[in-house]
A and B are shown apart, each in its own frame.
Chain A
């Protein structure tokens, strides 16, 4: 699974054979963008593309372009086809029924005003995902036609490495992988670190259940991530980069491989990029299904080919990382944001968002919400706007109960905070975290004790076993939570749950263990009555848990 760009291997065919799109005669009057990201593909959008290409050809529409694009965002209604000239989005397209779409393409008149976008799109601000649904992820020329690799060329030709770092510092960008550390500070540290060999790693081990931002970015716009990495390499003085991607994302890895090969052949990766003498090789590494490998020291151990177990920090990877060299590790979304920052300047990016949380954030909206999909919003937007205006509210009009952010490291935010702005500080204040961007909406059919147990089960299984608080603690916490769900617990168990959670939080080696009790803390904070209902009344208010009422059995 290793592909090295710009190597001295002979040229091979760069991609699988793809059915041809209709040949255009002159500029396109109208175009159809057919989503080819994983969600739509699983609903046969490849067949939609083939059928549409055939029908457009048969109809003799030689001025209509049919194009494969990345994620169009509204995954719930796939397969999606967009006609950008009119702004119309065709939902649930079927290969056997495309006549309406062909008619719409035939009727497009030049210079027509596009219809206003649906609320799902209107509230979004696209930076990291600006090319999603616009460019063909497997076509380098198309990416370049949309301004691709121009930021890299600008950086190489016009800016010094220090000036690039300065732009990132000015942008106020914070790590989008979850912790939210200032990206500029990381870059500065690695740039200043001494060492002949430095590395850049893109963390694409998106392990949080319920999060698919990185997958979507890699599937929709892989070149942008590579461009961000190359700019980072130039800024910090690294000549090698690794993308560590989870094996569960076959489409994303395939597109990354294609992108690495195409960019290498075009001289945009590899030796002497854009004839400047700057060298940057990128290699793809596959994970193998270990959540803990999202932690940076565990990730490095995994790139070394070993078990993905973390080690204590310091030294931080910025000082001593891959092969004990200074290593810059950023998340996919962080790298995807770099090119626009260099293109438009750090101050432009800092102008979006709030005082402490600049810019935009991509969220994967899922759960019991109508419009599930991928959204990018400015920091500071309220949860209500995301759930109701963009998300279209709760499925079947049921009552909203909570929104879960940050996956197994985060927490559940109840309805009283719906009008809270979404930024790093506010989320932390209410007991959750920004996390990587998973946002699971829950209605009254979810039991919060069961949700806490679900996440603890996840952490228990994913604990690497290196440190005792996490290995044993998560198992014990899971046992206690199961006892509560089953209606076998006492108030003493609840006290023990709280005490043990606190211990695991403070004594675990890495972020996995330290944050594992977070879902317990936040559900206890806002839904303590549900815990008490399970323990004292032996009943599950949401009707999820198999609580057995043993009190009667005892009395009779």
Chain B
């Protein structure tokens, strides 16, 4: 059970720990934890900040967050792997998120994923061997009017065809 009614009280006891390295990005994570009062229930928020800062969550990050918030490492690992938004693997230089929501699916998103796999050899969740591109899939970006849609490096692109997607990915 994840209920932690006494969570707020536990937080006060946890002191600031030494970050794993002198990488400045740890400050972002530290600030987030401090603002949240190092409460265990801020775990998801903190993991969001860490992933935003480092691009992914490695073992050091998980251990540091666990110790700082006073949450067992097993639980931090459980949360990090439960939610699909978190990734434990380094990501490629570019990120392409293909929407596979219902509207995109019936408008041909499956063909786009298949074409990328055929031409670039990556499936959703994988990164090309040269580390250039990570392919991800999402269950609905909420851009159903633009179906089929994808997010390429943070920018929503819609009304796609497999050829158009491949052309854009090869131009990266």
**Chain A contacts for B45, CB-based, 8 A:** 1-2, 285-286
A207 contacts B36, C-beta separation under 8 Å = no
**Chain B contacts for A206, CB-based, 8 A:** 142
B59 located at the interface, meaning its Cβ lies under 8 Å from any Cβ of chain A in the complex: no
B139 located at the interface, meaning its Cβ lies under 8 Å from any Cβ of chain A in the complex: yes
List the A residue with the shortest CB-CB distance to B52.
A1
**Chain A contacts for B36, CB-based, 8 A:** 2
Q: A2-B35, A39-B143, A304-B2 are in contact. Are A446 and B102 (CB under 8 A)?
A: no
A324 contacts B3, C-beta separation under 8 Å = yes
A442 contacts B106, C-beta separation under 8 Å = yes
Partner of B142, one of A38, A76, A291, A451: A38
Min C-beta distance of B91 to chain A, whole Å: 15
Partner of A302, one of B1, B39, B44, B86: B44
Q: A288-B47, A290-B82 are in contact. Are A208 and B140 (CB under 8 A)?
A: yes
**Chain A contacts for B85, CB-based, 8 A:** 247-248, 287-289
List the B residue with the shortest CB-CB distance to A3.
B35
Q: A1-B45, A290-B82, A454-B102 are in contact. Are A301 and B143 (CB under 8 A)?
A: no
**Chain B contacts for A451, CB-based, 8 A:** 106
B82 contacts A39, C-beta separation under 8 Å = no
Selecting from A17-25, A224-232, A367-375, A420-428, the interface stretch reads A367-375
Q: A42-B143, A324-B5 are in contact. Are A367 and B83 (CB under 8 A)?
A: no
List the A residue with the shortest CB-CB distance to B80.
A288
**Chain B contacts for A462, CB-based, 8 A:** 139
B146 located at the interface, meaning its Cβ lies under 8 Å from any Cβ of chain A in the complex: yes
Interface centre among A43, A301, A366 (most CB of B within 10 A): A366
Partner of B143, one of A212, A307, A323, A455: A212
Partner of B145, one of A39, A248, A445: A39
Number of A-B contacts (CB under 8 A): 162
Number of residues from A at the complex interface, CB < 8 A: 61
Partner of B146, one of A39, A210, A248, A302: A39
**Chain B contacts for A248, CB-based, 8 A:** 85, 138, 140-142
Min C-beta distance of A484 to chain B, whole Å: 17
**Chain B contacts for A445, CB-based, 8 A:** 106
Contact digits for A180-216, partner B, Cβ 8 Å, 1 yes 0 no: 0000000000000000000000000011111110010
Partner of B83, one of A303, A308, A438: A308
Q: A366-B145, A454-B105 are in contact. Are A209 and B40 (CB under 8 A)?
A: no
Q: A38-B156, A301-B3 are in contact. Are A212 and B106 (CB under 8 A)?
A: no
A304 contacts B157, C-beta separation under 8 Å = no
List the A residue with the shortest CB-CB distance to B97.
A248
Min C-beta distance of B52 to chain A, whole Å: 9
Q: A308-B83, A367-B103 are in contact. Are A285 and B44 (CB under 8 A)?
A: yes
Number of residues from B at the complex interface, CB < 8 A: 49
List the A residue with the shortest CB-CB distance to B149.
A42
List the A residue with the shortest CB-CB distance to B83.
A288
A210 CA to B79 CA, complexed, in Å: 26
A92 CA to B72 CA, complexed, in Å: 53
**Chain B contacts for A208, CB-based, 8 A:** 140
A305 contacts B144, C-beta separation under 8 Å = no
List the B residue with the shortest CB-CB distance to A206.
B142
**Chain B contacts for A341, CB-based, 8 A:** none
**Chain A contacts for B161, CB-based, 8 A:** none
Residues A440-466 near B (CB distance < 8 A): 440, 442, 445-446, 451, 454-455, 458, 461-462, 464
Contact digits for B27-47, partner A, Cβ 8 Å, 1 yes 0 no: 000000001100111111101
Min C-beta distance of A361 to chain B, whole Å: 17
**Chain A contacts for B86, CB-based, 8 A:** 288-289
Min C-beta distance of B162 to chain A, whole Å: 16
A309 CA to B141 CA, complexed, in Å: 23
Using a CB–CB cutoff of 8 Å, the interface residues on chain A facing chain B are: 1-2, 38-39, 41-43, 75-76, 78, 206-212, 215, 247-249, 285-291, 300-309, 311, 323-324, 364, 366-368, 372-373, 404, 407, 438, 440, 442, 445-446, 451, 454-455, 458, 461-462, 464
Beyond contacts A2-B35, A209-B103, A305-B39: 18 other A-B pairs, Cβ-Cβ < 8 A, are A2-B45, A39-B158, A42-B157, A209-B139, A212-B140, A248-B138, A248-B140, A305-B2, A305-B7, A366-B102, A366-B103, A366-B145, A368-B106, A372-B147, A438-B102, A440-B102, A451-B106, A461-B139
Using a CB–CB cutoff of 8 Å, the interface residues on chain B facing chain A are: 1-5, 7, 35-36, 39-45, 47-49, 71, 75, 78-79, 82-86, 100-103, 105-107, 138-147, 149, 155-158
- What are 28 A-B contacts with C-beta separation under 8 Å? A38-B143, A39-B158, A42-B156, A207-B140, A208-B140, A209-B100, A209-B105, A212-B140, A248-B85, A249-B142, A285-B45, A286-B44, A288-B47, A289-B84, A289-B86, A289-B138, A290-B83, A305-B40, A306-B2, A323-B5, A366-B103, A366-B144, A367-B106, A367-B107, A368-B107, A440-B103, A446-B106, A461-B139
